[in-house]
Structure 1
Amino acid sequence: MSKQTPPLIQMLGQLIAAPSISSTTTEHDMSNLAVITLLAEWLDNLGFKTEIMPVPGYPGKANLIATLGHGPGGLVLSGHTDTVPCNDELWKSNPFRLTERDNRLYGLGTCDMKGFFPIAIEAARKFINTPLAAPLIILATADEESSMSGAQALVDAGKPKARYAIIGEPTEMTPIRMHKGMMMESIRITGSAGHSSDPSLGANALDAMHAVLSELVKYRNHLQQNYQNSAFSVNVPTLNLGCIHGGDNPNRICGQCELEYDIRPLPGMGLSLLREDITRRVRPIEDLFNVKIDCRPLFPGIPSFETDKNASLVRMAEQLTGHTAEAVAFGTEAPFLQSLGMETIVMGPGSINQAHQPDEFLALDQITPTVDILTQMIQRYCVEVQKENTGV
């Protein structure tokens, strides 16, 4: 074991002490380079070949691809380096200092998901002097919590290449083989203002928005009548009307109004087709109310994700954890890695119930079992590769 790479808990402490918030709000958004640099140094010391990959168009943001061994196939252990913003005053301890109490490790990102990296590195240490038949790749991405720009940059670059991928999001080590997609969309209506005493003096954007809202509710009903998947606790696609802004005074015809909403599509529902459906449904409202309607995504979106229940990686994860693979409503980077040709699951320590909350924590008793499971995964997919075609 390299003396230059710290023990697991010390690694986690250093990662927590390196703030890496990503946010759609400029004043909260930070670089993730401090985290990437730490991981690259530790993995380089262990003999990994490390590549720091700047994210195009996002200054101060980078991915890390660290590879042990070479050749085709192999296993990716992947996580994102960023966290959501936090309210320091709501925490019982400093969110940027790792704090142990009640058999838990507290700090921003402990479970979502900086804690996965030291655990993955601890499992990887066991194979430093073992000949690998296929490579082990530790992947660290940028901006999962905001734009998915890091994952998209990987897709655009066509790397890394491997056969299997485990994304260590907090699932309490229950394997996840399906999740819904996520779209955040805007509909902006531009009318014309005028004196409210005479409606003919303007074109009321709020009146038009009322018609748009009715059309969206009808479309939601249509989706839920035609798409269901019993693997999900909420077994239908959802369309949430999130926030609306418009007008400036009660005695003035509303000249502009904007709605922001989200859709959580089921696997098999394409984002672009959903956008096309909505645009087609609301477009006639323009002529009806003499307004201009602009439909646009607030970010590119996260596709839905599904790995076959009989896939090798799913069966192996079920065998090692004792949990049947499940489906979740939240989105991850899984569809991006899957699009690179990897059989992919989501599985990591910690609970999603602690993510994005004050006093986020990782339970100490989840660390050793997770190291053991990842060790067995590395053994199976990087050392015993000849078993790939014979089942688990």
Structure 2
Amino acid sequence: MTSLPNFTDSLSQLIACSSISSTLPSWDQGNLEVIQLLATWFEQLGFTIDIQAVPDTSNKFNLLAKLGNGEGGLLLAGHSDTVPFDENRWQSNPHQVLNQDDKFFGLGTCDMKGFFAFILQVTKDLNAKQLKKPLYILATADEETTMAGARFFAKNQHIKPDVAIIGEPTNLVPVVMHKGHMSHRISVEGKSGHSSKPNLGINAIEIMYKVIGQLIKLKETFDTNYKNDAFDVPAPTLNLGAISGGDNANRICGHCHLDIDLRSLPGMSDAELINWLSDALKPLAEQYPGRITFEEMHPSSPSFEQKKQEQSISECFISVAEEISGHSCCAVNYATEAPYIQQLGCQTIVMGPGSIDQAHQPNEFLAHSEIDKTEKILLSMIQRYCLS
């Protein structure tokens, strides 16, 4: 049997497997190399391995590894892909770990291939015969774009662990709430013509100007009427992210597009957001029949909230996570795979090493100081939910 790598070597091997997810075909890659590497390691440790192709993706796969038998247990989950990178802003090769200044630099060290390197280390000495409940490890595909891997897993798996930890970088603070995310493209169809005769055309930019005015009013409504103080940005947000239109200064603009981003609070449904958006644009849609449309750019991600269970403190996962981590639970503004994992019927938290401030940034890193803390937390969770 080939000896298993130590933490530094396993992290280096994972980072060397490029697995970028992007909506741009020129950047988008498969993740099979990462999945096969993880499968090789965990199979050596006695885990049963299940690799599944994710439908409607290009060469993307999920991995589920299981050690032990029975019901319940612990699921440790994370995504196997990374975002693209700007090579000119990196001071080292993004796909080679640079161990320097008590930090591991590399694309995915923090977000979030490093989590799997930690899992490998803490499972090296586990004996399946000693486990009273199973330990599951899930590596998903395409989290950074469509979350297709987690969506597929939630719909097609029949496991039901007692609890799940998603190892996104939270500085090892348990996250029990986050906002949802959806994005839409608003399109205005005008009528082009010569700029010297504006009355013979319909300027799409001028209509979009009015659309933006309605969206600003909707933002103000969110700020005034909807708040959740668990978040540092307590209201739902609406961001005007990108705009394009027209082709020449001396032509009446015939087309204009605006891409917007909406982040909802827990308890808000996609249908509510779409209704608010429709109501905001309705007066203009009636004024300019057939000229204003909006469509979802990619599948939305729901908000997430893990409420405290009506159990004893020793059985409530939130209480256990706070006790083991030494941190109070919190809410974050970004989206994760947590709502999909929660659909398995398990208590779910997001908690992992590293800071979200490093994610999606040039010179992404994972600090050496995270190693002992992360391994102790994972070992404590395995002890409580699989060995006790």
1:243 matched residue in structure 2: 242
Establish whether residue 69 from structure 1 lines up as the match of residue 71 from structure 2: no
In structure 1, give the amino acid aligned to 2:323: Q
Q: Which residue of 1 aligns with 2:229?
A: 230
| 2:369 counterpart residue number | 365
Other structure's SS at 1:294 match? strand
Cα pair 1:203 1:289 within 8 Å, conserved: no
2:118 counterpart SS class: helix
Report the counterpart of residue 387 of structure 1 in structure 2: none
Matched, 1:349 2:345: no
* Equivalent position SS for 2:285: helix
Offset at residue 3 of structure 1 (A) = 4.8
1:259 counterpart letter in structure 2: L
Q: Determine which of 365, 368, 381 is the counterpart of 1:377.
A: 381
Q: Which amino acid aligns with 2:253?
A: C
Quote the offset at 1:160 in angstroms: 4.1
**2:287 aligns to what?**
288
One-letter identity of the residue aligned with 1:132: L
Aligned to 1:107: 106
In structure 2, what is the Cα distance between the partners aligned to 1:232 and 1:280?
A: 27
Which residue of the partner structure matches residue 141 of structure 2? 142
Deviations 1:202-231 (A, max 9, x none): 222222212211111111111222211111
Cα distance, 1:225–1:158 mapped onto 2, change above 3 Å: farther
User: Do the aligned partners of 2:168 and 2:351 also contact (CA within 8 Å) in 1?
Assistant: yes
In the TM superposition, 1:7-22 aligns within 5 A as 7-22=6-21
The answer to whether the 8 Å contact 1:208/1:291 transfers is no
Q: Does 1:41 align with 2:45?
A: no
What is the DSSP-based 3-state SS (H/G/I as helix, E as strand, rest coil) of the residue aligned with 1:301? coil
- The separation in 1 between residues aligned to 2:318 and 2:263, in whole angstroms, is 23
User: What is the TM-score of this pair, normalised by structure 1?
Assistant: 0.94
* Aligned twin of 1:97: 96
Q: For 1:336-366, what per-residue CA distance to the aligned partner results, in whole angstroms no more than 9, with x for missing partners?
A: 1112212110100011111111111111121
2 CA distance for matches of 1:270 and 1:171? 26
Q: Which amino acid aligns with 1:379?
A: Q
CA spacing shift, 1:251–1:354, aligned 2, 3 Å: same
Q: TM-score, normalised by structure 2?
A: 0.95
Q: Is the 8 A contact 1:65 1:160 kept in 2?
A: no
Question: How many Å separate the matches in 1 of 2:261 and 2:54?
Answer: 26
Structure 2 partner of 1:191: 190
Q: Which residue of 2 aligns with 1:339?
A: 343
Other structure's SS at 1:275 match? helix
How far does residue 163 in structure 1 lie from its aligned partner after superposition? 2.1
Q: Secondary structure at the match of 1:283?
A: helix
1:263 paired to 2:267: no
| C-alpha spacing 1:198/1:92, structure 2 compared with 1 (3 Å) | closer
**How many angstroms does 1:335 deviate by?**
0.8
Following the alignment from structure 2 to structure 1, what is the Cα–Cα distance between the partners of residues 188 and 227? 32
In 2, Cα distance between equivalents of 1:158 and 1:215: 43
CA distance in 1, matches of 2:27, 2:346: 33
CA displacement at 1:92 relative to structure 2: 2.0
Corresponding position of 2:313 = none
Tell me: CA distance 1:213–1:109, structure 2 relative to 1, closer, same or farther (3 Å).
same
| Distance in 2 separating the partners of 1:134 and 1:286 | 57
Change in CA separation of 1:190 and 1:160 when aligned onto 2, cut-off 3 Å: farther
Percent identity among equivalent residues?
48
Give 1:200 deviation, angstroms. Answer: 3.5
* Superposed CA offset, 1:279-317 (max 9, x none): 233134233134422211111111111111457221111
CA distance in 1, matches of 2:291, 2:252: 15
Residue matched to 2:124: 125
1:4–1:42: 8 Å Cα contact kept in structure 2?
A: no
| 1:87 aligned residue | 86
Match of 2:324 in 1: 320
**2:301 alignment partner in structure 1:** 302
Distance 1:19 1:368 in 2: 27
User: Which amino acid in 2 is paired with 1:298?
Assistant: M
TM-superposed deviation, 1:372: 1.1
Which whole-Å deviations, capped at 9, do the CAs of 1:157-204 have from their partners, x for residues lacking one? Answer: 144432211000111111111111111211111122122333332222
Classify the secondary structure of the residue corresponding to 2:242.
Answer: strand
1:217 and 1:160, CA in 2 relative to 1: closer, same or farther beyond 3 A?
farther
Aligned partners of 2:68 and 2:129 also within 8 Å: no
- Partner of residue 23, structure 2: 24
What is the rounded CA distance, in whole Å, between the counterparts of 2:263 and 2:139 in structure 1? Answer: 26
Alignment check: 8 A CA contact 1:17 1:96 kept: yes
TM-align CA RMSD = 1.6
Mapping of residues 214-225 of structure 1, within 5 Å: 214-225=213-224
Residue number in structure 2 paired with 1:389 = none
Larger deviation: 268-277 or 322-331? Answer: 268-277
Partners of 2:67 and 2:128 within 8 A in 1: no
**1:184, 1:190 → 2: CA distance?**
20
**Structure 2 contact 186–257 (Cα < 8 Å) conserved:** yes
Distance in 1, Cα, partners of 2:209 & 2:128: 66
* Equivalent-residue separation in structure 1 for 2:241 and 2:102 (angstroms): 38
Letter aligned with residue 179 of structure 2: K
